[in-house]
Amino acid sequence: MRFSKQRSIILEELKLRTDHPAADQIYLAVKKKLPDISLGTIYRNLEQLAAGGIIRELHYGKGQKRFDAHQTPHIHFRCLNCDTIEDMPMEITIPVPDTLHPWMQYREITDSRLEYLGLCPLCCKDKAGDTAGISAPIK
């Protein structure tokens, strides 16, 4: 894959972030460095970087595609209210296919994802009206 100046800056910007931005968020950041860049160019480059396995494309149902430059296995937390996605600060060990149950021998594993779903501290605070950020259990 050829790395143009545009593609390099897009990747550099994505690597600086842990919030798993959508293409329009990357566009706003990259536009500060490359004022003439278009949103279409951002989309095309993100798609090509994902197709090349350099970044991960995250699909979460109804929302926009999000992008993650961090390729090491990690856990995500996703807020069900504001759709914030954050990396969890913990390491995990993902079993390799030959250590899984026997039924796995007939399947091809191409990817894995572990995520926690819930409310982020800000949404908990808003929901409970609690200034300490601790809320009552979700019902």
Average pLDDT taken over every residue of the chain = 81
Q: What is the CATH number of domain 72-139?
A: 3.30.1490.190
| 84 pLDDT more than 70 | yes
| 8 compared with 133, residue with greater pLDDT | 8
**Domain extents in the chain:** 1-70, 72-139
Overall CATH class of domain 1-70: mainly alpha
Average pLDDT estimate for 4-17: 94
| 100-113 pLDDT, tens digit each | 666 666 667 666 67
| 1 compared with 56, residue with greater pLDDT | 56
Helices (H) and strands (E) in the chain — how many of each?
4, 5
| 26-70 pLDDT, tens digit each | 999 999 999 999 999 999 999 999 999 999 998 876 678 899 998
Surface-to-core class of residue 34, CB atoms within 10 Å of its CB (0-12 exposed, 13-18 middle, 19+ buried): middle
Joined tokens for residue 107? 């399947």
| 136 pLDDT more than 50 | no
What pTM value is reported for the model? 0.69
**pLDDT > 90: percent of the chain:** 37
SS3 20: coil
